[in-house]
Structure 1
Amino acid sequence: MQNLEELKQEALTAIRGAERMVDLRDVEVKYLGRRGLLTEVLRGLKDVPEKERKEKGMEANTLRELLELEIATRRSQLQDAEYPRQLEAEKIDITQPGRKYHTGSLHPLTLVQREVQDILGKMGFSTVRGPEVELEWYNFDSLNLPKYHPARDMQDTLWLDEKPVALKKRGENILSRLLMRTQVTSIQVRFMEKNNPPFAIVMPGNVFRREASDASHESQFSQMDGLAVGPDASLANLKWVMETVMKKLFGSGVKTRLRPSYFPFTEPSVELDMECLVCQGRGCSVCKKTGWIEVLPGGMVHPRVFEAAGYNPRENQGYAFDIGIDRIAMMKYGVPDIRLFRSQDLRFINQF
């Protein structure tokens, strides 16, 4: 059995020499832990002759109490010494400028889309959304695009390699292929099948086309279609809505022109162009050197579209229009290339 006097001097030296809390904890474990030196002495008392056991036991317990008191005293001393150091380490200079945290911002296309939605919302248009993976019937057939229309060609449409979906339309069972929608106009008939006029809706979303990219064309872009059906819907109403949207977006001085056009799902059809703000009408790659850029096609809803939705075209009339969000954003922010919007270049995105 280790000599208690030697053990005492050794433990006291170690306790008083501990400079950190972790060192003091190691000393405590070494002498008073479950397998500590003093603990082993207490366990070994059973092997001491009975005459000496009582005396040795009292000495060992007295030493244990002394060491516990010394450890507590040293712990208090270390804590007192640690507090000023902790205050110094955590000191805050209230005169120092704060750190600047960089927060994210909305994408320019999102900003324009929300602004257009707000403008049309104040005119009474509600927002409706539809699927990006669309059926051929809603994307083409219901919109009066015949089977031989070039838009259905593989070079223009992204067809999905999935089984056709069985539908029952106009009393006939048909199979409709799946595709990535080429226009949000596909939402029109979906909505009209479940809702009765009068109504005015806008349909924002992304569309996808298999086409070459250039400064003013992209294979993925954002559209926002508008549709109003009711007894007072007219081409004059459509012209007012188109011009009002443009004035709200670009100011009353914006230069626009309305010209006749053709779309399978409207008759008559028109197109609103605005002066190219990238070149101020002088001609550039964005406007194809014409000084004008197409931003707002539209027209009166074709009777065959009403028939596809189950409406009587003799009893209903309406107008539809499409806003090219990407092109509006190009004009609004002076962006010279439409491809920048989806370039994922933070140097461009962080400017907005």
Structure 2
Amino acid sequence: MKIDKVAMIGAGSWGTALALLLARKGVNVTLWDRDVEHINILSQDRENKRYQEGHPFPDCLSVSDDLFAAVGGAQCICMVVPSHGYREVYKKLFPVLPEGTLIVSAVKGIEIASGMTMTGVMQQEATSCKHLQLGVLSGPSFAKEVANKQPTAVTVAFKDLKAAEAVQHLFSTDYFRVYSSSDVIGLEISGAMKNIIAIAAGICDGLGYGLNTRAALMTRGLAEISRMGVALGGQLQTFAGLGGMGDLVLTCTGDLSRNRTVGLKLGSGLTLDQALSEMKMVAEGVKTTKSCHALAKSMDVEMPILEQVYQVLYEDKKCADAVAELFQRDLKNELQ
């Protein structure tokens, strides 16, 4: 399938980085955002100085605040809006998309009200028999480093491997390597839940705990992610891959991680409101903690790290008490 026009829905840091990546390949990209003032500034500056300063837009990258104009003629739509606003945007988008359109979610979150991943939201909103290909792109990929052409590897998943391979070739460059997969749900759960574990990692770092603590947290965090993902139908090997372990390592250790930053601030003594007020970009893990907590309860999946992060974020539990409670749990076999 030849793809020569892409609509990038969301002009934040990640959406801009992906738009730049494609446009640098010569792909025609339209970058959309609902913030009219933001789009006007991008149009004037031909650069996203708010999120990706120093990266001028190639000629084939256009910007628009008109959603229908942005997606017109695009064979591939890349959704990069926060999970809490995803459904609203998609509901407007869906009616005008022709059959066969490839829709790639590059959003790492779970909707609070429904407990659904982003492809689940899209499937639920598909009120006609229109055939659209729904997939996800995820992996260890800080937007700033992608914009700076740092070597990066990610995974794209569609149930139809031919669709996955089409998007794989679309996004692959000499510095951005894309692997294909058919495990959509596994990749989505990995991408969403690693943000929760990253908050926990930041809390531990903020409390002054060492590398032993971080290693234990990440390993047991991966166990929780895998447990939930398999319960939802994901493939176990996905959680050892780029979208699972790879993204978890990056987000729990990297200084560019928004979710780890939230945890650091909490561990150093700030309240959640204070921590969030100091950040200009969305930390998806805060909202995902609430949605995943409800999902885990409804499915009776044991997730002790998630439980403690939820209590710190939403029940004012002290960070040190949360860590202590994790270590005071009944002893178990590691493979349970």
- Please tell me the TM-score bracket, short chain as reference: under 0.3
Under a length normalisation based on structure 1, what TM-score does the superposition of the two structures give?
0.24
Under a length normalisation based on structure 2, what TM-score does the superposition of the two structures give?
0.24
Which protein has the bigger strand share?
A: 1
Instruction: Indicate the structure (1 or 2) with the bigger Cα radius of gyration.
Output: 1
Which protein has the bigger helix share?
A: 2
